[in-house]
Amino acid sequence: MRHPDVPESLDSWWILHRMFTLNRRAWDKLAHDERAELVREATAQFKKLKDHADTDIGFAQLLGHKADFMLTHYSKSYDGLAYAQTVTDKLGLFDYLTPTTSYVSILELGLYDATAKIHAALAERQLKPHSTEWNEGFDELLKEQEKVPHHAGRLWARIPQRRYVCFYPMDKKRGEDVNWYMLPFQDRARLMLEHGKIGRTFHGLVTQVISGSIGFDNYEWGVDLYADDPAVFKKLIYEMRFDEASAKYGDFGDFYSGVQFSLDQLEVFLEGESVPALNVLQPARA
């Protein structure tokens, strides 16, 4: 039975973020031929994950002390994430990478507005809430949301190919005095509508991927931001801090930011003589 205060969502890609430190001094001590062989092995396995229709993988050099390297795995199944983790852990390269943290989630499109409209449409049909007919009607109307062009284009988009990336997890506060989940549905829907308006003012400047992690990790959502200018992250997040949904109810975890690079730049990243490039630019989803 659906709780009337719970907004529905459309879910698609399973997502696994993995952060590592790289022991560059140990890597540099390896003979050139040995380093080259480890790069070839890793590139071959990563290419299989990137080229497969049911998976994708992204690479980023992170800045700061928390981690040096981030792998972002997409999979159409939860088991696919487990496979990607196992395949990468077996690589010889991983003798020189130490995991620092990870994050498990599933790409999510929140449907506050659509959920309210579905409830209203079922009320017009005079269906008893949570009856068999009501549930069937709800499922039918929810399924229609997957066909909305805006939704369909976002659900199964692959990892955005933009130069800079920022990832962070977040919660909605649920304390004794300030509790997002005790607000009436209409109030939460209004706040999320206002919150979304800020994001839309950055249309074309940033690509946002929201993933749900309730039951999968320590926070409730993961947020990925992709842009062609890293300063956009500061401007967007700072402006959103003044929005009530964030200012009063938002609780944020650690932020990770860095530069995305192409798979063919893996050796450049490992050798450390220059910053790896993002060579294959595809049209970004804004």
Q: Apex CA 50: angle with CA 27 and CA 91, to 5°?
A: 30
DSSP code at position 6: P
**If residue 49 lies in a helix (H) or strand (E), which one and from where to where?**
helix 32-51
Question: CATH topology for 13-106+262-271?
Answer: Alpha-Beta Plaits (3.30.70)
**Both tokens assigned to 90:** 């077996």
Q: CA 223 to CA 179: how far, in whole Å?
A: 21
Tell me the per-residue pLDDT of 224-243, one tens digit each, with 9 for 90 and over: 999 999 999 999 999 998 98
Tell me the per-residue pLDDT of 47-56, one tens digit each, with 9 for 90 and over: 999 999 999 9
Q: Which of 168, 160, 159 is nearest to 64 (CA)?
A: 168
Scan for tokens 């999320």, then name that residue. Answer: 192
pTM listed for this prediction: 0.88
Q: What ranges do the domains of the chain cover?
A: 13-106+262-271
Radius of gyration of the chain (CA): 21
Please identify every stretch of the chain with a pLDDT value under 70, giving residue numbers as ranges.
Answer: 1-5, 111-120, 122, 130, 134, 136, 138, 141-142, 145-151, 280-286
Q: Give catalytic residue positions.
A: 168
**Cβ-Cβ contacts under 8 Å for 32 (sequence gap 6 or more):** none
